[in-house]
Amino acid sequence: MAIFETEIEDFKAAVAPGQRLIGLDLGTKTIGVALSDTMRTVATPMVVLKKAKLKEDVAALQAIIDEHGVGGIVLGLPKNMDNSEGPRAQSTRAFARNIEERLGLPVLMWDERLSTAAVTRTLIEADASRKRRAEVVDKMAAAYILQGALDRLARL
């Protein structure tokens, strides 16, 4: 079962020291991917995967996990501003169950409210073109989500 923010200690205990974490921003058409360093202090935007069927999505994630020594997954949970959950959150929870089962790694669900908005604002302030923002916003949102979890894990 996916682990939620309130159970972050369980997630930390489930991931071996020195293993990286992967952060995912699940969209309707893409999956933004970010990767932590082995000390779990910095999240780096990595890649944007085009969503396909679950089998292909899992294979793409498995390749990244194997290549980089990943021990856990931080998945953004799209909650509404009033903390309720809609259809996207339900879809994300289903995705979490599926990847946890298929990849065999603990999944930490992390509140992603305003992550895309914060990243977009930063890119606009950096004078990134609309085209450039579209190319990088998902992987940067994944890094934003992962960094939030890393910062919280560091305080445990």
Q: CATH for 3-154? A: 3.30.420.140
* Mean pLDDT, rounded, for 83-96: 88
* Mean pLDDT, rounded, for 64-74: 96
Mean pLDDT of the chain: 86
pLDDT score at 138: 79
Q: Where are the domains of the chain?
A: 3-154
Global pTM value: 0.85
Place of tokens 């992603």: 112
Top-confidence residue, 3 or 33: 33
In contact, 73 and 57? CB cutoff 8 Å: no
pLDDT score at 1: 46
Whether the predicted pLDDT of 21 surpasses 60:
yes
Of 155, 130, 118, the closest CA to residue 25 belongs to 118
Q: Is 74 left (phi over 0), alpha (psi -120 to 50) or beta?
A: beta
In contact, 48 and 139? CB cutoff 8 Å: yes
